[in-house]
Amino acid sequence: MESDSFRRKLSAYKDGELDGNLSEAVSLHLQNCASCRKELADFEQVDSLIKEMPKLDAAECFTLQVIAGISRTERDPLDLGSFSKRVLAKILQLAESFLELFADSEHEENTLDEFSDFPPLSISHAYFQLLGEQG
């Protein structure tokens, strides 16, 4: 095994993840290779620095907040509250747009005369004439 191959096994060797034979071979190599010994020592230093990295402590109320979160989810498993609100808002928006069609048009001002342009002698023409007489 080449020196570089041993070097690549140093991390797993350090973690105790090599099988017995390979681990023994790396141990033997380390006895004769100063640069691998240095690298292994550096890996150990890197690990100690990681262990000394700043730590966070969970807030006192952490567990309570999680439990409260579960209660909220169970009351409304699919968050139907906000879902129905969103659907309702869409319906209202559509209804509003629909009403605006009429509100903006000039049809508000129109009278029945607008509909009385049926061909003479047609039933509709006669009907509108009757309506006009009644009005």
Partner 1 sequence: MNDPAGRGSSFSKTESDYELIKAVGAGDVVAFEMLIERYRDPVLNFIFKYTGDKFGAEDIAQEVFLRIYQSASEFEPRGKVSTWIFKIAYNLSVNEVLRRRRFTVIAGFDEHEAEPQTPNDTALKDLAQEAMNTIRRLPEKQRAALLLRVNDDLSYAEISNVLSTSISGVESLLFRARENLRKLLIRETKE
Nearer to partner 1, 12 or 30 (CB): 12
CB of 36 to partner 1, least distance (A): 13
Q: Which residue has the tokens 């060797």?
A: 13
Among 3, 5, 17, 24, binds partner 1 (CB under 8 A): 17
DSSP string for 55-73: -----TTHHHHHHHHHHHH
* Per CB under 8 A, 63 contacts partner 1: yes
What is the C-alpha to C-alpha distance for residues 10 and 30, in angstroms, rounded to an integer?
A: 9
Among 19, 32, 56, 101, binds partner 1 (CB under 8 A): 56
DSSP 135: -
* Per CB under 8 A, 52 contacts partner 1: yes
